[in-house]
Structure formats: C-alpha cells, structure tokens
Amino acid sequence: MNKNMYSWQMTALDADFQLVECPMPIPGENESLVKVAGCGVCHTDLSFWHYGVKTKKEFPLTLGHEISGTVIAGQGEWVGKNVIIPAVLPCGECELCRKGRSNMCQKQLMPGNDLHGGFASHILVPSRFLCPVPDTLLKKYPLERLSVIADAISTPYQVIKKSELEAGDLAIVIGVGGVGIYAALIARILGAKVLALDIDDNKLEIAKNNGVDAILNVTGLDIRAIKDQVREIAKGLGVSRFGWKIFEVSGTKQGQELGFNLITFTSTLSIVGFTLDKTEVRLSNLMAFDAKLIGTWGCKPELYPEVVDLIATDRLKINDFIETFPLSTINEVFRNTLNNVYQKRSVLVPDFE
C-alpha cells in the first residue's frame, strides 16, 4: 500500500481545488479504507463550491459523495470487496434509524460534507453500510461508472418509492439531467407513463430515445400554457387526470413553482432538486386538491441492493448517461458543469497512484 494518499481539496468558496498529499489514514475499529475507483460530480458539490452552501466540516475539505471503490484495509470481511459508499452513512442505532428513516439520521456522515470525500485516491469511511458490488455487475460496467448509484440513481429511487407511484400512474419529471433522467427511467420501469419536462432539447431527446413516453420543452411557455399541454399529453397517454406523481429534479425556482402548479386532485409533488431560491406558492392548493408535498434526502442504505439489482438485471442501463474524466481535470470539469457544458453525469477517475 502506498504510504500517502492524494486528494483535491477545496480551500475557499469559488476557488480552484488544490492537490494535496497526506499520510494514508489507518482504519480504526469498524472502518474501511477504500481505494476510489470513481466519484461523480453532483449539483450538491457545486452548491458547496460556488453557491455558498456551508459544509459541516470546515475548509480545507475534499468534496465528493458519489463514490465507488475497493476496500484495501480495515474491517476484515470487507477487505478486497468492491463497494458503493452510500452518500448518507447513518449510525444505525438512533430513533430515526430504528423507524426506517436512516437517511435522516442526525448522526449521519456524508462524505464531502462531514468528512473528506471521494475526489481523492482513497477515503476512510465507516464499514457498516457499505454496499457490495457483485462480480456479475462488474462484467457489465467498470467499477468507476457504478459510482452514480451512490446518489444520482439511489436518490430518485427512494423518492419514487416514497411517492407511492403505481403502475399506470402519470409520472411527470421536471428536469431530466444527471439525476432526473434516472427518475424518469425508474418510474417507467415501475410501470408509470412518463412525461419529461425540460428546457434542453438534447436532454429531452435522450429521454425519449430511452423509453420515456412523452417530452415537452417548456421554454418560453407560461404556467397556463404548460398546464394545458400537460393535460393534452396525459389524455393522449390514456392516464387518469387524478393522482399525478410529479418529481421536481431541476433544482430551480422555476421548476419548483411549475411542479406546484401542476398539482391536481390527489397528486403527490416530490422535491428532489435543491436551490437556495425561495418560491411563492399557495399552500391551500394542497388542501383543495387533497394533495401531498414531500421531500427527500439522499437514500437510506437499505435500499441500495434494490438499485444494484435494477442495473444487474439490465432493467436499468446506465452507460449512455455517464462520461468519465481524469480527476486531475477537476477544476475544468467543475467550471464546465457550472456552465452546463455537459449532457451526462461526470465521473472523475483518479489518475495518480
């Protein structure tokens, strides 16, 4: 094992990441040292890096919470195993964990927020909730590409389950970027008719080519026009005009306000995207339509094996939605991501030993 590890650390808001060499950490009891295979770039990372969202751990800090890799030291039964590191690592013992809400554990550890994250050669994490990657899955995808399971796929999977989506429902996904595309595809896999809304024709075309039932570019349309077109599309798809499941994944004020305005009788609006902007909505609509408004935070580790199974059984194919870059290009990738250069989820792959 190398005596040193390397990471790209954030030292100040909106500053370039700096390469840092430091001693390799020694795992304690119930800890695992993971050699990073890949780490996805998430909007949350941009929020920490550029938009002023505070991290729990003070700078300098290594970001990155969408991580896959191989355990090389630590708790015995894990050594040598290929794993996904959940983006939210709960304690497993508290009231919320016992009630099945471990993703909201108040003692949780989030790589790249509470501790140094995955834009590094190695990461030290608790072993308890690591998700093993079966060898059969590695025959389909290289380990670095499976890092997107840790957030981009598992987060929409959890919220779709929370929404109580049923086969035959209309699922409306607002924003089909790096996370939203998986929300759309998972809803389709579970039997819903899926309508994707976005302002980017390329993203909508990708969604359509991968089985989404209908698409609508909402650029330049006011709320009333969008609602009218959505009703027509729903009618054409042969779905009920009640009980729509709406997933806001764009992380924008406009997207959130649109999602709320699409609520109809017995709808469920799920907020997946994050923005610091405040919205103006009439909450009485929830009462009048007997509707639900729910949030989601990451994904509880207990659901990860279900996500892995979706991919291992070829129900969910992921290659078309991922592109990889050397970790040494992190500053360029972050700037390009901020400027919406990429159409796919960026995964940074360590290119140093």
Q: What angle do CA 9, 141, 85 make, to 5 degrees?
A: 40
Contact 112, 61 (CB under 8 A): yes
Predicted TM-score (pTM) of this structure: 0.93
What CATH number does domain 4-151+299-349 carry, 3.90.180.10, 3.40.630.10, 3.40.50.2300, 3.40.50.1860?
3.90.180.10
What are the domain boundaries of the chain? Answer: 4-151+299-349, 155-295
Torsion of CA 277, 321, 120, 273, to 10 degrees: 20
Predicted confidence (pLDDT) per residue in 9-29, tens digit: 998 888 899 999 999 999 999
Predicted confidence (pLDDT) per residue in 61-103, tens digit: 999 999 999 999 998 899 999 999 999 999 999 999 999 999 9
Contact 106, 74 (CB under 8 A): no
**Distance between CA atoms of residues 246 and 194, nearest Å:** 10
Contact 263, 283 (CB under 8 A): no
Beta-carbon contacts of 78 under 8 Å, excluding residues fewer than 6 positions away, are 32, 71, 127, 130
Predicted confidence (pLDDT) per residue in 195-254, tens digit: 999 999 999 999 999 999 999 999 999 999 999 999 999 999 999 999 999 999 999 999
CATH fold of 155-295, please? Rossmann fold (3.40.50)
Beta-carbon contacts of 331 under 8 Å, excluding residues fewer than 6 positions away, are 16, 17
Predicted confidence (pLDDT) per residue in 87-145, tens digit: 999 999 999 999 999 999 999 999 999 999 999 999 999 999 999 999 999 999 999 99
Fill in the DSSP letter of residue 89: B
- Token pair for 259: 């999602």
